[in-house]
Amino acid sequence: MEILENVELAPLTTYKLGGRARWFAEPTSAEDLLALTPVEVPVLVLGRGSNVLIADAGFDGLVIRLASGLAEIEIDGLSVRAGGGASLATVARAAAKSDLGGLEWLVGVPGSVGGAVRMNAGCFGSETSEALIHAKLLDLSTGILDVRTPADLEMNYRSTNVQPHELVLEATFRVAPSSRSVSEGKMREITRWRKDHQPGGTFNAGSVFKNPPGDAAGRIIDALGLKGRAVGGVSVSHRHANFFVAEASASAQDMFDLVQVVKAEVMDATGIELVPEVQFAGFDQ
């Protein structure tokens, strides 16, 4: 496996923003990953780039993106094992194809298995923690492999105890008997809802803020009249206020600054502290 230098990261993210990685590796196997350890520089596990904003200055460390060899999916009875690099939508469709249900909601999350475990991703009333049996993690700083249950991971709303230097190698999910037609029908409904309610054809990274207890971040931002608020080439979506969309002329700093502006205005008006769901990489460097 080759370790590349000064690799452009913007094309690998859904925002299409940000600078270069000082070093970049795309391992195809667990052996490749183990060969990287111990990693002694800052590390960023990129996943599918759907929930991350890279600074314009880039990331001064090692960026790891799992290749297809670490995205395999295996079905064994009423469980589905998927590599950390597997697309969540692909996992949902593989289960449905085998007449297994319970993971249909994954088509609503544009990310990877590793990212879903790390952030306890969820939508449409379901969360990763509810379906996860266990996950295998690699500590990149030591090379130690570890298997953790949802309890071990301390999975809460959009949070776990997975550290930046830890990588989700694979995860095993619980499924239930279903029929392919029923599961595919549910997935079509979810996909249709997303098209009707969320901005499409634009550069965005999904929900920007976590929902505060008992409320929705999008409702609060909308109620304050912040739809359309812009910084540079980035604005709050008119379709869904918890989505920020970027124009081709936008910079990562525009996005970062708009997050701070909206967060401050919500705090001033309501006393509610919105917590970003998007992960910022390179801004503190």
The catalytic residues are: 158, 207, 277
Q: What token pair was written down for 174?
A: 């619980």
Strand order in the sheet with 79-83: 73-76, 79-83, 166-174, 132-139, 144-148
Closest by CA to 227, choosing from 268, 248, 258, 271, is 258
Max CA distance (Å), the chain: 52
Residue 284 CB-density burial (10 A; 0-12 exposed, 13-18 middle, 19+ buried): exposed
- Tokens in use for 196? 């009707």
Do the Cβ atoms of 263 and 271 come closer than 8 Å? no
Give the separation between CA 198 and CA 212, rounded to whole angstroms: 20
Residues 210 and 221 sit within 8 Å (Cβ to Cβ): no
